[in-house]
Amino acid sequence: MNGLTLSELCCLFCCPPCPGRIAAKLAFLPPEPTYSVSADPNNQSKFMLKLSERADWQYNQRELDAFEVFYATSSRGNRIACMHIRATANPKFTILFSHGNAVDLGQMSSFYLGLGTRINCNIFSYDYSGYGASTGKPSEKNLYADINTAWTSMRTKFGISPDKIILYGQSIGTVPTVDLASRYEVGAVILHSPLMSGLRVAFPNTKRSWFFDAFPSIDKIPKINSPVLVIHGTEDEVIDFSHGVAIYERCPKALEPLWVQGASHNDVELYCQYLDRLKHLITVDLAPTSS
């Protein structure tokens, strides 16, 4: 009935894993920081971004000037590194991007600028607690507090209206994205390689939600009232393609999904369909309708 084998059931009920352990095992592998944030010597109220060689980006000063970095404090007391990229002069939307595992803002910075330029959107991103220049330790509760911090900064510091915000989550980043989207209506939501829940990744035959599960996105999806685009590679070896299909089927306002044939977990962006679908989202799916 529940999809688990007898041995798996015995394991769960005799020594059920706590959500924190599931989260730590599946999700959090913060890399050695690839950037630093320091006070601007010419203006102590501003901060400067310094990328290390590990960020692997040969940027010029004009490109670097498009980045604004600062710290914001989460409700759990952690100092969260935030990044706002003005990729275009007249953005149609600003994307709140929650990145995947094992990367930080420094490693993502070149991708953010390139993506924003190509789809005519600004990008706002942040590092999870314990990642990059953010303080604290990675945890499920911190994930939710971290994205709340980013959301509040977008709304108050930059005055961006919810209808002009697209929430984008990739892999583990879909967890806080779904949580936020279940509480606020926005322009759209993009879920790139989403997972149903932590336990369903660890035990693929799990068919129901358990009280000790972590990242229960599948149970929050029905609460999302914004348009949702699901993207998943059919050969994903980390989060099985079936997760993306299940998430898509539960979305009340699902858009035409992007199933990238042959793509795995970390190469979806290399397929031409990826950028084409995002451009279609911005210019067609979310285009204002004439009355």
Which are the catalytic amino acids? 171, 236, 265
Selection from 188, 285, 191 nearest residue 246 by Cα? 191
Q: Output the CA angle 231-23-245, nearest 5 degrees.
A: 25
Q: How far apart are CA 5 and CA 15, in angstroms?
A: 15
The DSSP annotation for 138-164 comes to --HHHHHHHHHHHHHHHHHTS---GGG
Q: How far apart are CA 143 and CA 285, in angstroms?
A: 29
Q: How far apart are CA 109 and CA 79, in angstroms?
A: 19
Q: Strands, E, within the chain: which ranges?
A: 35-40, 43-51, 67-73, 79-85, 93-98, 121-126, 165-170, 188-192, 228-233, 258-260
For the four alpha carbons of 61, 64, 65 and 69, in that order, the dihedral sign comes to: negative
Structure tokens that stand for 103 in this block: 């990367």
Contacts of 7 (CB under 8 A, 6+ apart): none
Torsion of CA 15, 18, 24, 27, to 10 degrees: 110
Cα distance from N-terminal residue to C-terminal residue, the chain: 50
